[in-house]
Structure formats: structure tokens, C-alpha cells
Structure 1
Amino acid sequence: MKKKLTSRYIDTVTAPGPKRLDVYDQALTGFGVRVSTSGRKTWFCSTRVNGRMKRMKIGTYPALSLADAREHAKATLRDIQLGVEPTATTPALGDVVPQFIELYARPRNRGWREQQRLLEQKWCGLFTTPIDQIQRGAVVRILDQMIADGAPGRANNALATLKKLLNWCLDRGMIDINPIAGLKPPTKPKARDRVLTDPEISRFLLAAEDEGYPFGTLAKLLLLTGQRRGEVSEMRWSQVDFETATWTIPSERAKNGIAHDVPLSQPVIDILQGLPRFAGSDFVFTTTGKTPVSGFGRAKDRLNDAMGASDWRLHDLRRTAASGMARIGVAPHIIEKVLNHKSGVISGVAAVYNRYSYADEKCEALRLWSKEIQALTCSMSKGCGRSLGSLTSNETSIESLGFTRISSG
């Protein structure tokens, strides 16, 4: 894309997504700005050096103004035309992150979006630092700030992701040493045991009802099915069989790599049949039609405010479902099958020889659990004077999302 670059344009330009945007200056050939999906703006100039195109980073905006960046690009391009070859520079962390996500994380890890979010949000303070100049002390200071902000678990995850990126750079010869090799997690990981109480479940259902599609509806399914957030958020209509009341999670999308059939209780079927389908899209939960829904942070904040509680996570709904099924008498090994756990009650030699699917038992477990949830819903409805029907989702204005309703299930 070519455009006359002005200070006003640089201030307001954004990447339309899902990819970054390169804008070349009409006034100076080879000079331009790269705008990342996170909003970071990097000046660059590109030209042929020894017969090959070479792209050189100049700096970032607003640390370097448009006028200064253009003058720097002029000087660099002039030197190249005079035969002065530019000195090779090590890429900055901000330039390496998209390469790491596209070439390594995305093809190998279903949780690549979380890795991308951690890198872009927690390590943005080092984005202008060349990767061979990242200092251990700078990393530790950022981790200390995360802990001071009350996010020790997130600090552990952020460190693990940065380590993985730098090890990838080491393997590719981009750096000669990993500056944080051997750096231990700042806090000892704690196994979570948070389970929502019955009053909290009632407030959660009411909050999810008010939130509506897509996040509120998705949250209901997390509680009713006990499946993982990534699996539910990436649900596809082609994986749902309403005739057999089954949702099949393929092996490539299951965390443990094992295909999983999830029986759908009647409340779940009612919810799904009440949802919109968008033309040309197979995603059940989407706001673009092209990708599954993402960005759960703000939706979770709204649920927190409505519930009056913030010390819970979406993954706690899975634990709540497991604990609730145990409370109403579902056997532990059936709960393991519902959750699609590879190890647990049935393990070792027994797991090798026991190939029974427990389909009927799983179906009954989720039926009983939905019945328990419906009982809470009825109690809540009487207490607050509102009718929530059979847990079906609020009707959403599909036109407001920019799509046309073509079917309801």
C-alpha cells in the first residue's frame, strides 16, 4: 500500500487485521511504516543491496518522529547508492514475535493465541530491544512488576513463553546465547481448586444471560458441558449432530490429542438451536464469520461485575462441573470420560485394555448435571423475579454484528 505519509495519518492509522499493515511513502521511494495488529508502528526502508531486496528497520513511532525517520531513511538510501553497504543489525524482539508465532507457535500449539497475547502485552516494554541485547535483569524487573500487580501465575506463563521464543531464536542462529536460560519461575505454581458455589452458579447464569451472544452463551456451555474454553470457543457446526445429540471434538483440537464425543443435554441443544448461523461460516461462536471468537478479558470483567466476584476463572467452570457431577453421584471414572482426561481413575494397563466408550454413562452424567443446573435456574428465577426459561440464550441482533441470519439450527 502506498500513501503520502503525514503526522496525522501516522497518529491514526491502524492495521485492519488479521495481518500487519505495511504503508510505503509516496514522497520517498523505499521508506515506509509497518503497523502491527497490536498498534506498534515501526519505520523501515527497503532497497536492493547487491541485487537482493533488503529491508532495514529505522526505529519506532512515536520515539522517532516522521520527519526524523524520513531523514534517516534518506541517509541510508543515499549511502547504499554510493556503495556503502548497511551494517547488519539484529532484529528487535517486536520484529521477532510475529515470526515466532507464524513459524513455530501456530503450527504446533493450540494455545498459540495465548502465547501471542502474553508476548505482546507482557513483553512490549522490550519490543525495541535487539534480541541479542535483552538483559536478564530487565526481564526480572518486568516479572517483579507482574507479581506486584497481583498476577504471579501470569508471570510464570509469561516467562515460559519468552523462554520458548528465545530458545527458538537460539536454534535458528539469531542469537548465540539465551540470556534467561535457567531463570526459574518467579513463584511456585499452585494447583487451583476454585469451585463456584451454588449461589455463585446462580449469579453466573444470570450474568451470562444478560451478556448474551457470543460470550455469555459460550460461558453457559462451558458450565453445562465441562469442556475446555478453547474447545468450546472453536466449536464448529459441522461437528454438531443434532440427530444423535452429539458434539465431536476432533483429535487435532483436543488438548490430549484424543477425539472426544460430547453428549449434548437438552438445555445445550436448546441453546445451540437458538443461535444464529452466519453465511459461509462454520464457527458457532464468531463475530467476524472468519475466525472463532476471542478476547475474553473484557467479557470476563463484565461477568465479574455482574456477579460481584472476580476470584474465579473461566476454567473453574470445568472444575465446577466435575465437582457438581461428583456431588450428584456420578462415578469418578465417568467424570474423567466426560472431561476427556487421558489419565486419572482408569490408567496404566487398565487404560490400555479398556476401550469402552462409556457413551451412555457420559450422556446420563451430563443429563443429570443439566438437571441440577436447571434446578438452580428455577430457584434463581423465583428469587429474582425473572424467567430464564430453559437456559436458552438471549436473542441477539445479528444485523448489529454485520451478518445475515440464514438458519437457526
Structure 2
Amino acid sequence: MSNVVHLRPAAFSSTDSSTATPTAEENSSPATAVAAPSAPTRRSSTPPKRGLTEAFVADLAHGPARYEVRDPKASGLRLRVAAAPGNTKAWVWYAVDGGKRLCITLGRWPAVTVDAARLELEKMKARKASGALAQHLEQKDAPPPVAPGALLLREVAEDYYRTQIKGKVRYPEAVRAVIDNHVIPRLGPLEVAKLTTRVLREPAELAVNGGAEVYAAKVLQVTKAIVRFAVERGDLEIDVGAPLRPKSLGIVTSRRRTRSLDDAELGPVLAAVDTLGEPTRTLMQLLLLTGVRTGELLRARWSEIDLDAAVWTIPPERQKLRKEREQDAKPWRVPLSAPAVTLLKHLRTFDRKSPWVAASSESAEGHVTDKVLGRALRRLQGSEPQRDGKSPRPAALKLEGQRVSPHDFRRALRGWLARNACPLEVAERCLGHSLRALGGVVATYAADDLFDARREWMERWAAHLDAHRTGAESVMS
């Protein structure tokens, strides 16, 4: 199985937001545990001064967030402990080789013991010192020879995307990213007729070992769907992907988040967000002010926004609707508070020619991608690598409980509405939720978007946020 991940500025660029916490091999700071905020472990996740032991590793618990523990006896060796309900513990080494930042997986504990991991690390370091590391990794990953004219999996994957995904699902780019970044690199050069269950594990296993235990479920799903597609059209007789189960691969299929932000946490969050660069800072502030979903904001076009009327109209194809409901759905109007209008005018100055509100010259799509905001929040919380591969900067945002994600901003709004006795139907409409499923009297408001009532509450929410600012300067002030 491949054991290397290339870490780019968008580390695990198409993967899960829970990226690794890489530190360059040359970083020789004292051995300590590297953990996400409040990651509960054993009695202590601080490693023994003489080095990790089998008993210590066995006793490390899986907390609400993934964390890593350094081995004081082997510089550069780390044990990555998956977040619960995941159950994997993997040995990793972060290295910079040929100008590339690499996260190399040395194996999983307990199959690879502490001593075996140290030995494998020394071998890898020796290869790096002799300039043979890249060649070793290439040889390890080199595909087997194929027969002339044989059907390759990358051809099937392309046909699957063209006939089953493109134009038929809401976000085809998400499937495209899995195919391009996980399936084709690992399985693309292989003959379809020679695929085995064992080799089909590799894309998902690599994602798990890279720390993306939740995102690995999507990788496995797409991999198995491509194989089923090959079986259905007669390219393969047996569905060799059918036996694969998420649990056996260490994939976390359900990690229900309960994180929100209470009033006491809003000030620190706003102050930390103010330290971000543009346009990320303004986009974060807009998420808080509007309560919209991340994808709705990042894919918003200026043609949808009327700054004079302070209204943003989201078309049905970008609302969170089932495909069959899009045809009958109406555009959704989002009331913009005065601070939100100010922020949007500020965003407009960055790129007046782009049709995108969240314009980005660095993205192939032309707008800021979904992972950018998540990475920014992870950096603020000290759990995202710097671009040079060094240790994360000290956390600018330290809160108890689960790590904060962009979606938690919506929960913060919903929680505030509930605490301030906002009528249920208005509160749900503020988040763009349907009222039909609630039933009873509330369902009678299903056809009404309650726009005026929502505008009043969103202005109050904006004033509430302003009251919790800590004095940092920004266009929200």
C-alpha cells in the first residue's frame, strides 16, 4: 500500500477538513504531545521521557479530536491517534524532500510495534540522507505491468463520472476531486480484470492513515461505485469491492457534531477571525452574520445580491434540496443586515470583474473553495500546518470542547435565537430550513418565507455580535 501523502498548501486538498498536523523532520523541539484542544487521552498524553512504550501506546484513548504524540527516543516519529469513534493509531513521519512536504505513514500500531516503527524511521531517514527516498517511494508505488490493450481503471472511472455523475448530482466536483486525488493516483493504472479486494482498500486506507477518517468514507464510497459500474456494464464479472466495510478500514462513518458557540465564546472567535488575511476574514464574518451554509456563500454570484435592497437571493440549484424538489422550489431570499452589506461592499473591491462574491485567482473554479475556511479555523486553533511544513503557530483561539468548524457558526445563530425566544418557525426559516417536517401549527407557515420577521431578527443578531467584539479593527466595526 502507498505510504506517502504530498502535503500542499491545501494539505489533503480534496480531503477531509481534519488534516494532519505536520511538523518538519528537522524540527527538534522537545518531545511533547501534539493535540487538538481538549482531546481527552489517558491519564496524560505526555510521553515518557525515555520514549514511547507499548503499554503507553495501548493506553492512549481516542478523544473527540485527532491528536499526535511524539516519541522522545526517535526524533521525527509520531503516533497519530484517530478521533473517536475511530480506533486507529498510525505511525507517521513528516519530511521535506526535494522541496516537497511529505507525510509518510510507517504503519499502524499494533501491527507495527514501537521498536519496529523506530527501525522503519531510521531506514527512511537513511534513504533521505542518501537521496534515495523519492526513488524508494516511487518504486513502492509503481504500478504493475499491464497487457497491451487492457482496460484500465482510470478509463472506467472517467466513464463513470461522465455518464453517472456529471450533470446528475448537485456537487459533481466533490466526486471529481475524489477520483482525481484518490482513485486514479492509486488505482488508475491497474487492469480492471485483475482488480482485487485487497488493492481496492488502498485509497481509503491512505486517507485514514493521513488523518481523514471521516472523509475516507467518501473515498471508499466512490471507489466501490466505480467498481460496481464496471460490473454492471460487463467489464468485471465479480464485484470485488463489495466485501469492503468502513469499520474494518478504520473509517469513521458517523461523528455527529454537537459543537456550538455560546455568548461567552463569540468574543474570542470574532477576535481570532480578525487576525486572518483577506478575503478569508470577511467571508468568515459573513458566515456568522448571515447564518448561511458555507457552500451557499462561496458559490454566490454578484448577480444574486441586491445591495441597495439588502437582499441576497439564492437559486434553487444551490439550496440544500433533493434533486427532485429543485424544479418546484422557489429562490430563497436572505435578508442582509447593515454590517453584512458593508462586508459585501468590501469584498467587491477585491475583484470587480469576477462574477463570484468569494472570488479567488488561485482556484480553478474562480472562487474560494470549501476547504479554505475550514483550514483557516484549524490554523487559528493550532491544528493546521504552516505552509513551510513547520509546526503550527500557537493557537490564537483556545476554546473548550470540540474544535470549532465553519458550520458551527450556524449553530451559534440557532442557539442564540432559541435563547432569546425567537418563534420556532422564524428561527428555522433564518437557517433556510423547511417547516413541513415540523408538522402541526408550525407547518402552516411552510409557504411563507417570513422575510420581514427574519430581517428583524438578523439585525438583532448583528447587533449582538457587535456587542461581543473585543476591540479588534475590521469592516464589521
Same fold flag (TM > 0.5): yes
Structure 1 residues 179 and 312, CA gap change in structure 2 (3 angstroms) = farther
Structure 1 residues 319 and 106, CA gap change in structure 2 (3 angstroms) = farther
The residue aligned with 2:366 is 291
Native 8 Å contact 2:359 2:367 kept in 1: yes
Among 149, 162, 177, which residue is 2:223 paired with? Answer: 162
Native 8 Å contact 2:434 2:446 kept in 1: no
Structure 1 residues 246 and 140, CA gap change in structure 2 (3 angstroms) = same
- Counterpart CA distance in 1 for 2:162 and 2:440 is 37
Among 380, 387, 390, which residue is 2:476 paired with? Answer: 390
Structure 1 residues 283 and 188, CA gap change in structure 2 (3 angstroms) = closer
The residue aligned with 2:434 is 342
Structure 1 residues 210 and 90, CA gap change in structure 2 (3 angstroms) = same
Question: Which 10-residue stretch deviates more, 367-376 or 287-296?
Answer: 287-296
Structure 1 residues 360 and 343, CA gap change in structure 2 (3 angstroms) = closer
Among 304, 307, 320, which residue is 2:397 paired with? Answer: 307
| 1:353-393 CA-partner distances (Å, limit 9, x unpaired) | 8412211121122112212111111xx11xxxx334535xx
Post-superposition offset of 1:271: 0.3
1:195 equivalent to 2:255? Answer: no
Among 314, 329, 333, which residue is 1:261 paired with? Answer: 333
The residue aligned with 1:278 is 351
- Counterpart CA distance in 2 for 1:104 and 1:190 is 28
- Counterpart CA distance in 2 for 1:196 and 1:139 is 40
Aligned AA (2:150): T
Aligned AA (1:390): M
Among 439, 453, 457, which residue is 1:361 paired with? Answer: 453
Q: TM-score scaled to structure 2, two decimals?
A: 0.56
Structure 1 residues 336 and 301, CA gap change in structure 2 (3 angstroms) = same
Native 8 Å contact 1:336 1:344 kept in 2: no
Native 8 Å contact 2:313 2:333 kept in 1: yes
- Counterpart CA distance in 1 for 2:439 and 2:414 is 18
Structure 1: give runs of 5+ residues left out of the alignment. Answer: 1-60, 65-71, 73-85, 392-409
Q: CA-atom RMSD, angstroms?
A: 3.4
Aligned AA (1:236): R
- Counterpart CA distance in 1 for 2:195 and 2:173 is 23
Aligned AA (1:227): V
Structure 1 residues 178 and 355, CA gap change in structure 2 (3 angstroms) = same
The residue aligned with 2:462 is 370
Post-superposition offset of 1:335: 1.9
- Counterpart CA distance in 2 for 1:132 and 1:368 is 62
The residue aligned with 2:14 is none
Aligned AA (1:155): A
The residue aligned with 1:251 is 316
Which structure ranks higher in relative contact order (CA pairs < 8 Å, sequence separation ≥ 6)? 2
Aligned AA (1:323): G
Among 95, 98, 118, which residue is 2:178 paired with? Answer: 118
Post-superposition offset of 1:171: 4.1
- Counterpart CA distance in 2 for 1:132 and 1:308 is 52
- Counterpart CA distance in 1 for 2:276 and 2:418 is 29
Aligned AA (2:178): L
Native 8 Å contact 1:204 1:303 kept in 2: no
Structure 1 residues 183 and 274, CA gap change in structure 2 (3 angstroms) = same
Native 8 Å contact 1:207 1:216 kept in 2: no
Native 8 Å contact 2:152 2:191 kept in 1: yes
- Counterpart CA distance in 2 for 1:301 and 1:366 is 27
Among 210, 231, 235, which residue is 2:296 paired with? Answer: 231
Aligned AA (1:375): A
3-state SS of the aligned residue for 1:107? Answer: coil
Equivalent residues, number: 305
Mapping of residues 326-337 of structure 1, within 5 Å? 326-337=418-429
Identity %: 26
Post-superposition offset of 1:121: 3.7
| 1:121-178 CA-partner distances (Å, limit 9, x unpaired) | 4443333323443332334465456445554322222222323333344444443443
The residue aligned with 1:213 is 278
- Counterpart CA distance in 1 for 2:446 and 2:179 is 42
The residue aligned with 1:325 is 417
Question: Is the radius of gyration larger for structure 1 or structure 2?
Answer: 1
Native 8 Å contact 2:342 2:475 kept in 1: no
Structure 2: give runs of 5+ residues left out of the alignment. Answer: 1-136, 383-395
Whichever structure has more helix as a proportion of its residues is 1
Native 8 Å contact 1:134 1:179 kept in 2: yes
Post-superposition offset of 1:251: 0.4
Post-superposition offset of 1:90: 1.3
Aligned AA (1:221): L
Structure 1 residues 165 and 334, CA gap change in structure 2 (3 angstroms) = farther
Structure 1 residues 324 and 350, CA gap change in structure 2 (3 angstroms) = closer
Aligned AA (1:322): R
3-state SS of the aligned residue for 2:341? Answer: helix
Structure 1 residues 180 and 263, CA gap change in structure 2 (3 angstroms) = same
Structure 1 residues 356 and 368, CA gap change in structure 2 (3 angstroms) = same
Native 8 Å contact 2:246 2:253 kept in 1: yes
